[in-house]
Amino acid sequence: MHREKEVLLKIRNAQTYFPVQKGLLKRTVGHVRAVDNVSLDVYRGETLGLVGESGCGKTTLGKSILQLVRPTGGEFIYNFDGQEKDLRKLSNEEMMQARKRLQIVFQDPHSSLNPAFTIFGSLQDPLKKFGIKSKEERKQIIGDLLEAVNLRREYMHRYPHEFSGGQRQRIGIARALSLGPELIICDEAVSALDVSIQAQVLNLLLELKEKHKLTYIFISHDLSVVEYMSDRIAVMYLGKIVELAQAEDLFANAMHPYSQALLSAIPVAEVGRKRNRIVLEGNVPSPVDPPPGCAFHPRCPYAMEMCKTTVPELRKHIIDGREHHVACHLTDARAVTTQKTS
Amino acid sequence: MDTILTVDNLHINFYTNNRCNEAVRGVSFQLKKGRTLCLVGESGCGKSVTASSIMRLLPPLSRIEEGEIIYHTDQGDLRLHELDPNGPEIRSIRGAEIAMIFQDPMTALNPVYTVGFQIREAFMYHTKMAAAAMKEKAVELLRSMRIPAPEQRVNEYIHQYSGGMRQRAMIAMAMACNPQILIADEPTTALDVTVQAQIFDLMNDLQREHNAAILLITHDMGVVAELAHDVVVMYMGDAVENGPVEEILTKPAHPYTSALLRSIPVLGQSKSQKLEPIRGSTPDPYNRPKGCQFRPRCDFATEKCLQDPETFDVSADHTVKCWHWEKVLANA
């Protein structure tokens, strides 16, 4: 199914570590492994959902792709109209040019817009930078953008505090769209919104995707929202991807014990669907000092001896002719045909 | 079933900047022993204000204008709304018979006292226990909340706890004196879903063991389906619909409830579902629409909606504030 699809972004063994410093001399005593050996392909035109609990590294992965956080290692190969380049190796000037294609919508619409600038002031900077000299033209473009996100043109002369949360989030989306990007990373883009507004923004994102042929990486902790938006979903735990599959497959047949627990923990707004919840014991371990072997083994109901020593690799399983990537020794033991991802 | 708390036609106003905000405008419900009542609504709809008014914890510039909050005890009825918010009567009830769990344990708990001390405080004010017994009881409570190594944890401070453990410590505090009523104000909103599942398990156990009544405030319809027996849906300070959970979720009679249910993605339905957002946004509380508050966003709105809607009975224990509830039901 994916064979004909074009890979837009190829991530290989991405690592983003943050140093932990201690004492007077700020000696580095360890690293927070926020993103730890993540390999992933993003296809053109798809929506890739990224889910996991707080602190699992999903936001850091998103920011690492944009080089907003400098990754420690790995490759981020982006397909510039057929020409593949590693984003990590670009010069600042080249990266600046690349940002035309890669954009982000942040979680908190209150802090991601400058309160001292009007909307026009905030949105015109990138246009200026990329060569639209006449103010009239910029006004025209920003007006069109605001209309594209269902806001009125006149709103460009207002300040952020004059808008509601949902409207501000739409301005954030308009800003991301302003340079005609290919890939937009939506980092918890609807989490701060009330439910009735959330649906408006979700539908807007879907519409824009169709219209502008966008690719999304949709980061959220809310699985029902991710399911509604995504073609494929990657589940992260402690800096690693533990499962990656088509959205339908993941929800119908989650294979990693963590994904199973995560799915069962979500309350569903339907009467009589009180399923057997798998309640996990304990907490997420610290990413500074992750447990050896599989990071999930201290909480895993099926943990075996092997899980305590050997790190499971993300392997491709073919189930009913469809790809399903899982990093678990248990599924490896069960499956007949496995193949290491990349 | 025994009713333990009656809230009748409650009105609460806030007076700030020479303006008056009618935060709660006529909310009525009954809380029953051993049952969970959910107050659902979006931010700013008045659900937290309603809850804190029961504990008489309203901020200084607000006032209960009208209505009654009656607590039914074995010794007779107590009219909570008439008590002095700093007086001895309400203080003897607060924490002992009615306890509250707040959304953010980091601000609700005191960082300079140990967790054990904060649990023991409840015993100091409400019981005549010996100091040693209090200590033992505090450890026991933490253990019942499944906090590992409680003997050691009881002497630790809140910053040494993880988010889920903090929330459990707060539940331990609330449950210290076996309250009759537990008010939980968005207890799991700040937590991850797997931790949320742990907390819900605990709350269910507590309810079964002590037959406590729980008033749960949430904005998550999933939580409602999971925990609630009865539901009150609030919009802009009005309790627009009130009834048992099965009826509210399957046969909503108020256009807001029904629109809300159609606007949330349901897990396991993948992309086949179509979300129907509610158009517009919640009105400014200082510049309210005339009549029904939902009218500007409602598909059923007519001339009649310019008048405040009356309360209609859908079934024996299901009421709705909408002129067109029959049409809404028929349309579902």
Same domain, B158 and B182: no
Q: Between residues 144 and 173 of chain A, which touch chain B (CB distance below 8 Å)?
A: 164, 166-167
| Option in A223, A277, A282 nearest B267 (CB) | A223
Under 8 Å between Cβ of A73 and A8: no
| Host H or E run for residue B283 | none
**Contact between chains at A195 and B164 (C-beta distance less than 8 A):** no
Same domain, B164 and B194: no
A103-129 pLDDT, tens digit per residue, is 999 888 778 889 999 999 999 988 988
A53 vs B contacts (CB less than 8 Å):
192-194
Same domain, B301 and B288: yes
- Res A282 pLDDT > 90: no
User: What is the predicted pLDDT for the residue at B286?
Assistant: 86
Domain boundary among B154, B176, B198: B176
Check CB contact of A228 with chain B, cutoff 8 Å: yes
- B105, part of any domain: no
- B155, part of any domain: yes
Who's near B141: CB < 8 A, 6+ residues apart?
A: B119, B172, B175, B176
Check CB contact of A27 with chain B, cutoff 8 Å: no
**Contact between chains at A268 and B267 (C-beta distance less than 8 A):** yes
Averaged pLDDT score across all residues of chain A: 87
A194-219 pLDDT, tens digit per residue, is 887 888 899 999 999 999 999 999 99
Q: Between residues 144 and 203 of chain B, which touch chain A (CB distance below 8 Å)?
A: 148, 162, 164-165, 192-198, 200-201
- B142, part of any domain: yes
User: What is the predicted pLDDT for the residue at B267?
Assistant: 79
- Res A187 pLDDT > 60: yes
Same domain, B287 and B314: yes
B11-41 pLDDT, tens digit per residue, is 999 998 888 889 999 999 999 999 999 999 8
A261 vs B contacts (CB less than 8 Å):
194
Give the bridge partners for A315, in sequence order.
Answer: A326, A340
**Contact between chains at B273 and A273 (C-beta distance less than 8 A):** no
Q: Which of B332, B328, B317 is nearest to B232 (CA)?
A: B317
In Å, how far is A108's CA from the nearest CA of chain B?
A: 15
In Å, how far is B215's CA from the nearest CA of chain A?
A: 18
Confidence band of A275 (pLDDT split at 50, 70, 90): low
Q: Which of A300, A307, A287 is nearest to A256 (CA)?
A: A300
Same domain, B208 and B257: yes
Same domain, B170 and B182: no
Same domain, B121 and B232: no
User: How many CB pairs below 8 A link A and B?
Assistant: 130
Mean pLDDT of residues grouped by 10 in chain B (332 residues)? 90 89 92 94 89 91 92 90 91 92 87 94 91 93 86 92 87 89 88 84 86 92 90 94 93 93 81 83 86 92 92 93 92 78
Q: Report chain A's terminal Cα–Cα distance, integer Å.
A: 17
- B102, part of any domain: no
| Option in A221, A271, A279 nearest B198 (CB) | A279
ipTM of the complex: 0.79
User: What is the predicted pLDDT for the residue at A342?
Assistant: 46
Tokens linked to B79: 């009219």
Same domain, B270 and B166: no
- B221, part of any domain: yes
- Res A44 pLDDT > 70: yes
Check CB contact of B82 with chain A, cutoff 8 Å: no
CATH topology classification for A7-101+180-340:
Rossmann fold (3.40.50)
For residues B49 and B124, what is the distance between their CA atoms, to the nearest angstrom? 28
Q: Which of A279, A281, A296, A299 to mutate to test the interface with B (most CBs of B within 10 A)?
A: A279
User: What is the predicted pLDDT for the residue at A61?
Assistant: 94
For residues B10 and A143, what is the distance between their CA atoms, to the nearest angstrom? 46
B188 vs A contacts (CB less than 8 Å):
none
B166 vs A contacts (CB less than 8 Å):
none
B283 vs A contacts (CB less than 8 Å):
none
**Contact between chains at B197 and A277 (C-beta distance less than 8 A):** yes
Check CB contact of A210 with chain B, cutoff 8 Å: no
Q: Which domain holds residue B164?
A: 110-176
Domain-wise residue ranges, chain A: 7-101+180-340
- B318, part of any domain: yes
A199 vs B contacts (CB less than 8 Å):
263-265, 275-278
- B278, part of any domain: yes
For residues B171 and B181, what is the distance between their CA atoms, to the nearest angstrom? 13
Check CB contact of A223 with chain B, cutoff 8 Å: yes
Same domain, B290 and B226: yes
Strands B36-40 and B230-235: parallel
Largest CA distance in chain B: 68
- B53, part of any domain: yes
Confidence band of A4 (pLDDT split at 50, 70, 90): low
| Option in A228, A248, A280 nearest B265 (CB) | A228
Same domain, B324 and B242: yes
Confidence band of A274 (pLDDT split at 50, 70, 90): low
Domain boundary among B176, B202, B234: B176
Same domain, B167 and B59: no
Give the bridge partners for B216, in sequence order.
Answer: B38, B184
User: What is the predicted pLDDT for the residue at A1?
Assistant: 45
Q: pTM, whole model, 2 decimals?
A: 0.85
Same domain, B133 and B169: yes
User: What is the predicted pLDDT for the residue at B1?
Assistant: 63
Check CB contact of B106 with chain A, cutoff 8 Å: no
For residues B20 and B15, what is the distance between their CA atoms, to the nearest angstrom? 5
- Res A3 pLDDT > 70: no
**Contact between chains at B275 and A251 (C-beta distance less than 8 A):** no
In Å, how far is A227's CA from the nearest CA of chain B?
A: 6
Strands B36-40 and A322-326: unpaired
B179-209 pLDDT, tens digit per residue, is 999 999 988 887 888 888 888 888 888 888 8
**Domains held by chain B: number:** 2
In Å, how far is B110's CA from the nearest CA of chain A?
A: 23
Locus of tokens 């009542």: B37
Q: Which of A275, A233, A266 is nearest to B194 (CA)?
A: A266
When pLDDT is averaged across residues A143-169 and rounded to a whole number, the result is: 89
Spell B123-159 as b/e; 16+ CB within 10 A means b.
Answer: beebeeeeeeebbebbbebbbbbbbeebeebbeebbe
For residues A153 and B266, what is the distance between their CA atoms, to the nearest angstrom? 34
Q: Which of B245, B241, B237 is nearest to B255 (CA)?
A: B241
